[in-house]
Amino acid sequence: MSVDLARTDSPHVAIIGAGFGGLAAAIRLLVRGYRVTIVDRLDQPGGRARVFKEDGNTFDAGPTLITAPFLFDELWELAGKRRADYVDFVPIDPFYRIRFDSGEVFNYTGDADSMRSEIARFNPDDVDGYERFLKKSERIFDVGFTELGHVPFGKVSDMARIVPSMVALESYRTVFSLVSKYIKDPRLRQVFSFHPLLVGGNPFSTTSIYTLIAFLERKWGVWYAMGGTGALVKGLADLIEELGGAFRFGETVNEITVAAGKATGVRLESGEHIISDLVVSNADAAWTYKHLLGPEHRRRWTDAKIDRSKLSMSLFVWYFGTDRKYDDIAHHTILLGPRYRKLLEDIFRNHELAEDFSLYLHRPTATDASMAPEGNEAFYVLSPVPHLDSGTEWATKSEQYRKQIEKYLERTVLPRLSEHITVSRTLTPQQFLDDYLSLKGSAFSFEPILTQSAYFRPHNKSEEVEGLFLVGAGTHPGAGMPGVLSSARVLDSLIPDAE
């Protein structure tokens, strides 16, 4: 599948957004003979995976854990190239170090023996349950990922077809409920149920399909892109340019234009009309319908339906450098706060910014010294917080909240942190709205609950107008790098090769 760059008559696709979904869609369409223009309002590719560089530190703004590397490899293979020639992946061990508020630590790895002994340290009775949980996770993976993750859910019959397997796999249960069926220790229940938070879901309401992540990690591992996730983004963007794709950075799409029920292109804020045969939106799905496609073109995704939908939580992220090393901190640390279920209720249901938090601490310098000046560390720490329905004025709250986190880190894992900070910047829910145009500042688009999954999510092939397709976190299958790469893969079965 090669691209004839001399062709000027091949159909043109306008892609809104250069997040992983948009980048993957561009590669797939380019190798299938389309001309592609990607428009993004940021000044660089990657979307949430953009990069902040400051005083010799490189901060990946968003995703850090690569869990299905083969989905990236496949993009290069489609173009007849090798991912390893563009970016190196290295395995991370442990996958996560989970620290409870009590100070106890659980090292979560991909090694069966060490997992068994970690579990036994907490509760020997749960070792068997864990083995059974992992087998269940594999069965869920076989259906949820292998069979369903890459196919469109455009028709009610698509949904009806999978209902029997979903019932058999207990998809009506939540992640926490399924984990609790196999594991009794309250601390281990947290260890094996937090994963939906990585894709914007509350373990107490996310469908148990998401327990497939446990098997996905065990089978393929957790990886890091040397140079950071930004190096992976750069590799994909380079590949797109080699294939003849064009980027337009710093431009915002204000409208998807439509004639006779068919998408005809995108209109930019500047007024420029980019005409295209197809439009692929990698912009926030809720935003795409609410703000880019006129109400006269929408029957299903009306403003009222979007306003009724549940959007995922947001995140507060603090990026900081230190002029000393913290050698004993793992690459990925999860610091669980004093509350679990109640904190998640505050975030997802009450939309209330709580006094306490649970944190994820990223230390890329544990693996890759190039991310900070010599002798320094580059960290980020994120706290799941409610989206903008909380009413929090982040412009005034941000610094106070950051300080609270700094104090907590200083007290728990980063002694004397406040004396060693070199650079500091934050990303608040308000910036998820202002920078990425994500409705209510949600970090992961529609919440992954059963009634908002598969057929019930905005479809990959728009239900509203011909020639409009959706990729990214808000469409099927959902958020996270594996999810958004799969959304682009679904397009292969919906869009024919260019003639």
Ligand X SMILES: Cc1cc2nc3c(=O)[nH]c(=O)nc-3n(C[C@H](O)[C@H](O)[C@H](O)COP(=O)(O)OP(=O)(O)OC[C@H]3O[C@@H](n4cnc5c(N)ncnc54)[C@H](O)[C@@H]3O)c2cc1C
Q: Does 15 bind ligand X (CB under 6 A)?
A: no
Binder of ligand X out of 13, 42, 151, 166 (CB under 6 A):
42
| Residue corresponding to tokens 């997802």 | 348
Contact partners, residue 449, CB within 8 Å, separation at least 6: 201, 205, 206, 207, 310
Q: Is 7 exposed, middle or buried (0-12, 13-18, 19+ CB in 10 A)?
A: exposed
Contact partners, residue 4, CB within 8 Å, separation at least 6: 10, 33
CA distance 200 to 452: 13
CB of 310 within 8 A of CB of 341?
no
Q: Does 49 bind ligand X (CB under 6 A)?
A: yes
Q: Does 240 bind ligand X (CB under 6 A)?
A: no
Give the contact letters, 333-372, x = binds to ligand X (CB under 6 A), - = no: ----------------------------------------
Sole window of 37-45, 118-126, 398-406, 458-466 interacting with ligand X (rule: CB under 6 A): 37-45
Shortest distance, position 110 Cβ to ligand X, whole Å: 16
Buried residues in 392-401 as b, exposed as e (16+ CB within 10 A): bebeebbeeb
Q: Does 479 bind ligand X (CB under 6 A)?
A: yes
Q: Is 206 exposed, middle or buried (0-12, 13-18, 19+ CB in 10 A)?
A: buried
Shortest distance, position 282 Cβ to ligand X, whole Å: 5
Extended beta strands in 338-394, E state: 359-362, 377-385
- Per-position DSSP letters for 36-55, written without gaps between them: EEEEESSSSS-GGG-EEEET
Residue closer to ligand X by CB (options 65, 359) is 65
Shortest distance, position 287 Cβ to ligand X, whole Å: 6
Nearest to 367 by CA among 225, 235, 247: 225
Residues 171-210 that bind ligand X (CB under 6 A): 198
CA distance 111 to 315: 30
Residues 376-415 that bind ligand X (CB under 6 A): 382
Q: Does 62 bind ligand X (CB under 6 A)?
A: yes
Sole window of 34-42, 205-213, 364-372, 461-469 interacting with ligand X (rule: CB under 6 A): 34-42
Helix (H) or strand (E) holding 486: helix 481-494
Residue closer to ligand X by CB (options 152, 480) is 480
Shortest distance, position 281 Cβ to ligand X, whole Å: 8
Binder of ligand X out of 119, 417, 437, 470 (CB under 6 A):
437
Sole window of 134-142, 304-312, 462-470, 471-479 interacting with ligand X (rule: CB under 6 A): 471-479
Shortest distance, position 403 Cβ to ligand X, whole Å: 20
Q: Letter for the amino acid at 465?
A: V
Binder of ligand X out of 15, 20, 322, 398 (CB under 6 A):
20
Binder of ligand X out of 3, 13, 15, 16 (CB under 6 A):
16
Shortest distance, position 431 Cβ to ligand X, whole Å: 10
CB atoms under 10 Å from CB of 96, counted, come to: 22
Q: Does 436 bind ligand X (CB under 6 A)?
A: yes
Q: Does 63 bind ligand X (CB under 6 A)?
A: yes
Q: Does 41 bind ligand X (CB under 6 A)?
A: yes
Q: Does 27 bind ligand X (CB under 6 A)?
A: no
Q: Does 39 bind ligand X (CB under 6 A)?
A: yes
Binder of ligand X out of 215, 318, 340, 444 (CB under 6 A):
444
CA distance 71 to 223: 13
Q: Does 283 bind ligand X (CB under 6 A)?
A: yes
44 sits in the region (left: phi over 0; alpha: psi -120 to 50; else beta) called beta
Residues 122-151 that bind ligand X (CB under 6 A): none
Residues that bind ligand X (rule: CB under 6 A) add up to a total of 38
Shortest distance, position 252 Cβ to ligand X, whole Å: 4
Q: Does 320 bind ligand X (CB under 6 A)?
A: no
Per DSSP, 174 falls in state B
3 state SS of 372: coil
Handedness of CA 496, 69, 230, 235 (dihedral sign): negative
Shortest distance, position 401 Cβ to ligand X, whole Å: 15
Sole window of 58-66, 146-154, 296-304, 392-400 interacting with ligand X (rule: CB under 6 A): 58-66
- Per-position DSSP letters for 301-328, written without gaps between them: S-HHHHHHSPB--EEEEEEEEESS--TT
Sole window of 17-25, 71-79, 173-181, 270-278 interacting with ligand X (rule: CB under 6 A): 17-25
Sole window of 42-50, 147-155, 295-303, 350-358 interacting with ligand X (rule: CB under 6 A): 42-50
Q: C-alpha angle with apex 61: 58 to 62, nearest 5 degrees?
A: 130
CA distance 393 to 107: 37
User: Distance from CA of residue 262 to its chain's centroid?
Assistant: 30
Can you give the binding site for ligand X, defined by CB under 6 A?
A: 16-22, 39-42, 47-49, 62-65, 198, 252-253, 282-284, 287, 315, 317, 382, 436-437, 443-444, 472-473, 479-481, 484
